[in-house]
Amino acid sequence: GKLQNLNGTKHTLMIFLTGFVLCVFNFSAVKRETVPTPPPASSKPALTEEELEKKSTAIIEEYLHINDMKEALQCVCELSCSSLLCVFVRTGIESTLERSTIAREHMGLLFHQLVKTQTMSTQQYYKGLLEVLEVAEDMAIDIPHIWLYLAELISPMLHEGGIPMGPLFREMSKPLVPLGKAGVLLVEILKLLCKAMSHKKVGAMWRDAALSWKDFLPEDEDANKFVTEEGVEFTLGEECVRKSSKVTLSPEDISRELERLLQEKADNQRIFDWVEANLDEQQTSSNTFVRPLMTAVCQSAIICENPYKVDTKEMTQRAKLLQHYIKDEQKELQALYALQSLMMQMEQPPNLLRMFFDVLYDEDVIKEDGFHRWESSKDPAEQQGKGVALKSVTAFFTWLREAEDESDNS
């Protein structure tokens, strides 16, 4: 009798619990239908514009001080406010407008990387840029060179992976066309681009974008006259590329510019563009051009630790650049003389020349005959430091001869 009662109680309890669960389920279903689910709480509260401005200023100051692009990109990513990055753009432009050319170029390169890595949308870039351009004419009273300064900030965006010339020029000209200032700014940007790449290439970019000067100038201004006066005829067609556009650079100027480009980690194409824009064929095919190029490339690939090492990854990346200009035995010899001279200036760091020889051989920049020619050369002008250099690469030449003997025998 007790067992029956217990089973009956269990049965009643089960019915009760089932009913309770169904009731709760139905109630929550009703709740779900009538009350919208609140959005999940954001892990970070949204920044106000003022807070974002402060954080932007801190990131920009640190970036300009230590010039660490990777760190700056990471910091902007962590702002977590992609819809307000126009504030970062505006702050970046305003805070560098009256600084040095280098500060403006670096700021422009950061904007370029933000767009290239899709950390920032082109719309956010436009918005921040236009906020400054809308008041640029008023600022010109205190900053007479404002159009050049803005061009220094904007032109890096036209590097590969940034914003194409057509959309960028059309968008940024919107507030400037009514003021008659669009043409002025575009000329400054085009001239800066011509220093980085050839007139021919910049002209092709303009024509590929199907741009017309009439769209950027006041209606009553003669476009042809403007183009001639401003020296931007290269935008009209290849036959208008002026022959006098190249200024003769001294060997010191060439060295300085190549070193600057390599320090900035410019890609090979940018260096090819600079060479084409600033040196004629006679200069680039001369034996003397190889020396500053070789020196700049090797300097950029030295890891300054104790002891010194060669950054083989950097040398591999630059192999195509060197191969392009080191085309015969005579140029190979000049390149090795340049390396010998660099080792002498550095007071012959142990094993460094050997490491360079290995990578130059592996990457097919210098052939066997080129090394042998340097080894046996007796040019009196190139003997300084030669003895020490030869001694430091004895093992390399031993290995080279053995490798040649093996290939002869096989």
Mean pLDDT for 22-40 is 43
Per-domain residue ranges of the chain: 1-31, 49-243, 251-409
Model confidence at 89: pLDDT above 70 = yes
Dist CA 303 CA 327 (whole Å): 27
User: Mean pLDDT over residues 172-178, rounded?
Assistant: 94
Q: Does residue 180 have a pLDDT over 60?
A: yes
pLDDT value, residue 115 = 95
* pLDDT band at residue 273 under the 50/70/90 scheme: confident
pLDDT in tens, 106-121: 999 999 999 999 999 9
Looking at residue 403, its pLDDT comes to 85
State pTM to two decimals.
0.60
Cβ-based neighbours of 173, under 8 Å, separated by 6 or more: 182, 185, 186, 215, 216
Q: Domain 49-243 classified CATH 1.25.40.180?
A: yes
Q: Is the distance from CB of 112 to CB of 156 less than 8 angstroms?
A: yes
Cβ distance 381 to 339 under 8 Å? no
Closest CA to 219 of 172, 167, 174, 180: 180
Closest CA to 395 of 367, 357, 340, 368: 357
Name residue 384's amino acid: Q
Tell me yes or no: is domain 251-409 CATH 1.25.40.180. Answer: yes
- Does the structure show a pLDDT above 90 at 18? no
pLDDT at position 93, please? Answer: 97
**What is the rounded CA–CA span in Å between residue 251 and residue 293?**
10
Check residue 247 and give its pLDDT: 60
Higher pLDDT, 90 or 197: 90
pLDDT for res 42: 42
- Is the confidence at residue 256, as pLDDT, over 60? yes
Question: What per-residue confidence (pLDDT) applies to 283?
Answer: 85
For the chain, the C-alpha Rg in angstroms (whole number) is 32
Residue 45's pLDDT is what? 57
Of 376 and 39, the structure prediction assigns the larger pLDDT to 376
**What pLDDT is attached to residue 405?**
82
- Distance, CA of 58 to CA of 51 (rounded, Å): 11
Give the pLDDT score at 246: 52
- What's at 8, amino acid-wise? G
Residue type, 233: E
The pLDDT tens digits of the residues spanning 206-250 come to 999 999 999 999 988 899 899 988 989 889 875 445 444 456 778
Same fold flag, 49-243 and 251-409: yes
Average pLDDT value for residue range 385-404: 93
Q: Strand 309-310 to strand 302-303: parallel, antiparallel, or no bridges (unpaired)?
A: antiparallel
pLDDT digits (tens, 9 = 90+) for 38-73: 444 444 557 788 888 999 999 999 999 988 999 999
Task: Give the model's pLDDT for residue 29.
Answer: 42
Torsion-angle region of 368 (φ positive above 0: left; ψ -120 to 50: alpha; else: beta): alpha
Query: DSSP per residue over 85-126, as a string?
Result: HHHHHHHHHHHHTTS-HHHHHHHHHHHHHHHHTTSS-HHHHH
- Helix count and strand count (H, E) for the chain: 22, 2
Question: At 281, is the pLDDT very low, low, confident or very high (cuts 50, 70, 90)?
Answer: confident
Average pLDDT for residues 325-329, to the nearest whole number? 90
- Name the percent of the chain lying above pLDDT 70: 86
